[in-house]
Chains A and B, each alone.
Chain A
Amino acid sequence: MRELLAALFNLLIFPGLGFLFVCAMAFEWGDRRLIARFQGRVGPPWYQPFADLIKLLAKEDILPNDAEETTAAVLPMLSLAAVLTAALYVPVAGYAPLSFEGDLIVVLFLLSLPTLAHFLAGWVTVGVYSILGGNRSLLQFFSYEVPFLMALSTPAIFNGSWTIAEITARQTVWNIFILPLAFLVALVGLIGKLKRDPLDIPKAKSEMVAGPLTEFSGRKLALWRLSMDMQTVVGVFLLVNLFSGGASMLAPLAFVFKALAILALLSTASVLYARLRIDQLAHLGWRVLAPLALLQLLVTVWMGG
């Protein structure tokens, strides 16, 4: 009975659904507020992400006639479920009740599911913008995913473990100082994964309307947005664990501070640059990020990790 209660607590409250939801809302607000301040605006009040979500949930849910309704309904849930599952294995301030050997690989796999769901969502809703946007999200996936995976496996090799909690605990000096290239590539990869400015190529508003999500509305769109917000949280937590861990520094307050610092980096990047073209991203991914990540990986292996 106690085990069941503990499992339910982990799933639904901490570090599962409830905690992640609050974090997602807080991160979205912090992000929007910070970007607004950079751009000389005021930004939304703290409850704006909630209000947006509730508004979307209450709105009419329509799809085009030719769309596959079941698949279109399942995809946002699949995306959300993948992110929520990934969240269970990413330690929060050193607390990782479900951690097991090799959970980093599972998390990386689960985090790539939402992108594939985006691609499929574009196909099953049969709009011109949806299909083109879906294709673009797949192209983008191929550009950032390989460097991203290489960058995230570097700390694993360096610290000699594929368990996130272990990697966090084994850092005496933050990995960000030892493996700066890997951190940089991981950060750019995360921006690409989250489809944030300036890598919001699949949903580029000025030509793709909303990309793969163009035809979605109401509850489904709300779930998509929530899953993207939660993915941001999980991605940021993952980077905190892999690159700025260390047993002594993992007090909850320090963890929050580090997570906010990485979120601020993401916000800054989205303010500083114009959106890239898909061919420019492919160029960046394969000619710049991949060699950098590979270099960092080889150096790590050569140093004897």
Chain B
Amino acid sequence: MTKVTIPIGPQHPLLKEPLSFLLTVEGEQVLESTLRLGYVHRGIERLCQERTYVQAVHLIERVCGICSHIHTTTYCQGVEALSGLQVPPRGLYLRTFLCELERIHSHLLWLGVLAKNMGFDTVFMYAWRDREIVLDVMEELSGGRISHAVNVIGGVRIDLDAAHTRSIQQRFDELERQVEKALALINNEPSLKARTQGVGLLSAEQVARYCVVGPVARASGVDVDLRRDFPRPPYDQLKFNVITHPAGDVWARTLVRVQEIRESLSLCRQILAQLPDGPTSVAMKRRVPPGEVVSRSEAPRGEVIYYIRSDGSDKPARLKIRTPTLTALITLADQLRGVNVADVPVVLSGVDLCIACADR
């Protein structure tokens, strides 16, 4: 049979962001795949060095279109550590509250994209409908559905009152019901299982070799979660389970992510219940003392790392961002080898790509 080269990208209905795959296909089987990246490289790291620490927050918000808040959180954590700022507990709790909301929103969005890519529009519509609940809450809190601009160096710029808390809790009840339905569907729906089980296999050894993080690693049975392993406040005060699954296929990733939504919901409820009183932020000094810091946090897709070096001026001397998607992208060559062409969309969406994050 003759070999055909199928281009997936840079523009393709499958992809929500520009990325290019060249698949060498024999019949319906993929033999090899070549990856090209860099279509949305914006030079954010360099641009941040041209701006002051405060201005950079707004630029870093735009590294990712889905997990914008976790990027600014990680950055602000780093700068706060460098300048020795103590963020008030209420500020930390509210910051974490938004992190967990963002995780729910990101996982629901991903569930929708996966369903759409395997031709299951109903699940796509349901997942994105339920995601609206979270987006509404985030919009009420910050004024933005996706880009919240909530973090400032030294805390957050939002606050919650009692009436608003109650209204949010009521909507969480509805979301919880929908998440239970989604879980039942993933566990029972035969056509969904037929399309995801045994597809995109990644063993624990491969996860270790490629340094894969986040839900993809956890779905291969690797028990890593920065929130538990190196808990920053307030995670040390909160109870949650780290979800793992030994199967290592796309189905396991689906299950892990949807169960994580449930855990995040419980985290959100705990935060609302324990929310301490007090101010939400402290003022920062314009100049940051010389030094360097590595700031890490658990984004929806796994560990995100910021390296910041300061030379004592009001601008970062060097800023390096390492996002979880980059590690997942490397595994795709292995995952795609030998799969059916029809499974390519499932494999690609299974790792939850965020190209903007990877390209920066």
Q: A39-B126, A206-B118 are in contact. Are A277 and B343 (CB under 8 A)?
A: yes
Most buried by B among A131, A197, A204, A209: A204
Given known contacts A132-B6, A198-B191, A278 and B342 CB-to-CB distance under 8 angstroms: yes
Partner of A204, one of B123, B189, B192, B342: B342
Binary interface profile of B, 1-12, with partner A (CB < 8 Å = 1, else 0)?
000111110001
- Give the total number of A-B pairs whose CB atoms are below 8 A apart: 82
Compute how far the CA of A198 lies from the CA of B340 in the bound complex, rounded to whole angstroms: 17
The chain A residue sitting closest to B7, CB to CB, is A128
Taking a contact as CB atoms closer than 8 A, the residue among B4, B119, B192, B340 that contacts A132 in the complex is: B4
A277 & B342 in contact (Cβ 8 Å cutoff) = yes
Residue of A nearest to B8 (CB): A207
**Contact yes or no, A128 B6, CB < 8 A:** yes
Nearest-CB residue, chain A, relative to B13: A205
| Contact indicator A272/B122 (Cβ below 8 Å) | yes
A5 within 8 A of B: no
Min distance, Cβ B339 to any Cβ of chain A, angstroms: 10
**Distance of A282 Cα from B160 Cα, bound (Å):** 57
Q: Chain B residues near A38 (CB, 8 Å)?
A: 122
Q: Are B4 and A128 in contact (CB under 8 A)?
A: yes
Among A197, A271, A277, which residue has its beta carbon within 8 angstroms of that of B340?
A277
Contacts of B4 in A (CB 8 A): 128, 131-132
Task: Say if the beta carbon of B31 comes within 8 Å of chain A.
Answer: no
The chain B residue with its CB closest to the CB of A205 is: B13
Name the residue of chain B whose CB is nearest to the CB of A280.
Answer: B194
A279 to B194, CA, bound (A): 11
The reply to whether A274 and B116 contact each other, CB–CB distance below 8 Å, is no
Contact assessment for A274 and B345 in the assembled complex, using a CB-CB cutoff below 8 Å: no
Q: Does B344 contact A (CB under 8 A)?
A: yes
B14 within 8 A of A: yes
Task: From the candidates A128, A200, A276, name the one contacting B5 in the complex (CB within 8 A).
Answer: A128
Query: Is A45 part of the binding interface, using a Cβ–Cβ cutoff of 8 Å?
Result: no
- On whether the beta carbons of A206 and B7 are closer than 8 Å, the reply is no
| Docked CA distance A96–B31 (Å) | 54
- Nearest-neighbour CB distance to chain A for B224, whole angstroms, equals 30
Find residues 249-285 in chain A having any chain B CB closer than 8 Å to their own CB.
271-280
In the complex, chain B residues whose CB is within 8 Å of the CB of A304? none
Report yes or no: B6 in contact with A206, Cβ–Cβ below 8 A: no
Chain B 118-138 interface residues, beta-carbon cutoff 8 Å to A:
118-123, 125-126, 129
Give residues 1-35 of B contacting A (CB, 8 Å): 4-8, 12-14, 25, 28
Within the assembled complex, what's the spacing in Å between the Cα atoms of A83 and B197? 39
Residue with the greatest number of chain A CB neighbours at <10 A, chosen from B6, B126, B343: B6
Q: Which of A39, A205, A277 sits near B125, CB closer than 8 Å? A: A39
In whole angstroms, how far apart are the Cα atoms of A206 and B12 in the complex? 8
User: Cβ of A234 < 8 Å from any Cβ of B?
Assistant: no
| CB–CB B194/A206 < 8 A | no
CB of A2 closer than 8 Å to a CB of B: no
A-facing mask of B103-122, CB < 8 A → 1, else 0? 00000000000011111111
Taking a contact as CB atoms under 8 Å apart, the answer to whether A273 and B120 are in contact is yes
Given A207-B341, A279-B28; A274-B125 close (CB under 8 Å)? no
A274 with B120: CB separation less than 8 A: yes
Task: Identify the closest chain B residue to A272 (Cβ).
Answer: B122
B120 touches A275 (CB 8 A): yes
Question: Does B195 touch A at the CB level, under 8 Å?
Answer: yes
Given A128-B5, A129-B6, A40 and B129 contact (CB-CB distance below 8 Å) = yes
Report yes or no: B122 in contact with A271, Cβ–Cβ below 8 A: yes
Is residue A117 within 8 Å, beta carbon to beta carbon, of the partner chain? no
A128 to B341, CA, bound (A): 13
Please indicate the chain B residues that have their CB under 8 angstroms from the CB of A198 in the complex: 119-120, 191
Q: How far is the CB of B254 from chain A (nearest CB, A)?
A: 12
- Of all chain A residues, which has the CB nearest B125? A39
Residues of A within 8 A of B7 (CB): 128
Q: Is A228 an interface residue, CB under 8 A from the partner?
A: no
Q: How far is the CA of A131 from the CA of B2 in the complex (A)?
A: 13
Q: Enumerate chain B residues within 8 angstroms of A35, measured Cβ to Cβ.
A: 121
Taking CB atoms and an 8 Å cut-off, the chain B residues in 168-225 that contact chain A are 189, 191-192, 194-195
B355 to chain A, nearest CB (A): 16
Q: How far is the CA of A134 from the CA of B200 in the complex (A)?
A: 26
The answer to whether A40 and B119 have CB atoms under 8 Å apart is no
Could you tell me if A206 and B345 are in contact, using CB atoms closer than 8 angstroms? Answer: yes
Whether A39 contacts B121 by the Cβ 8 Å rule is yes
Interface string of A199-219 (1 = CB under 8 A from B): 011001111010000000000
A-B contact pairs, 15 of them (CB 8 A): A35-B121, A38-B122, A40-B125, A128-B4, A132-B25, A197-B119, A198-B191, A204-B342, A205-B119, A209-B12, A272-B122, A274-B191, A274-B195, A276-B194, A279-B340
7 closest cross-chain pairs (CB), A and B: A275-B119, A274-B120, A206-B345, A39-B125, A273-B191, A274-B191, A206-B117
Which residues of A does B touch, CB under 8 Å?
35, 38-41, 128-129, 131-132, 197-198, 200-201, 204-207, 209, 271-280
- Given contact pairs A39-B125, A128-B5, A275-B120, enumerate 4 new A-B contacts (beta carbons under 8 Å): A40-B129, A205-B13, A275-B195, A279-B28
